Structure 1
Amino acid sequence: MAQRVKTKYVHEGKYVAEVEVALIEDNTQWSPYLSVDDAYKLDDVRDALREGDLDAAARYGRIYEMRPVASQ
């Protein structure tokens, strides 16, 4: 069984969180997959962004605010 680090992006409303998780690779058909802790981490980030709690979301990674760009 091997692990590799992957950056996941969680988009909720006008915010995006950049969160690093470990993907577990093995010889099963489920591979690659997240650990239960990393899956909960992504859920916690999504919930924090949904509630507008940027401090809680920032504990897990970088937070970005998306803004519309005027087009001409």
Structure 2
Amino acid sequence: MRRRTTTKLIRDGRYVAEVDIELEYSDEPWSPTMSLDDAEKLERVRTALRRGDISEAAKEAKVFELLPLAG
């Protein structure tokens, strides 16, 4: 089984979080998969962003604020 670290982006409103997770690759048809811990981490970050709790989301991710640009 091979493992690879990847970054998932979660966007909620004006915030985006980069969350590092580990994917496991195998010869099974449902590959790649992530661990339950990584799935729960994604959900914790998503929930924190929805509440506007940036400091909580930043414990497990890099958090960015999106700003609109004038065209």
Distance 2:46 2:13 in 1: 10
Partner of 1:13: 13
Identify unmatched segments of 5+ residues in structure 2.
none
Give the residue type in structure 1 aligned to 2:9.
Answer: Y
Give the TM-score normalised by structure 2: 0.96
CA distance in 2, matches of 1:20, 1:2: 17
Report how far residue 64 of structure 1 moved: 0.2
Distance 2:21 2:55 in 1: 19
> Residue by residue, what CA displacement relative to the aligned partner does 1:7-44 show, whole Å, maximum 9, x if unpaired?
11110111000110000111111101111110110011
Tell me the SS of whatever aligns to 1:17: strand
- Where does structure 1 differ by over 6 angstroms across 4 or more consecutive aligned residues? none
> Could you tell me which amino acid in structure 2 is paired with residue 36 of structure 1?
L
Q: CA deviation at 1:61?
A: 1.6
- The amino acid across from 2:63 in the alignment is I
Distance 1:33 1:11 in 2: 21
Could you tell me the TM-score, scaled by structure 1's length? 0.94
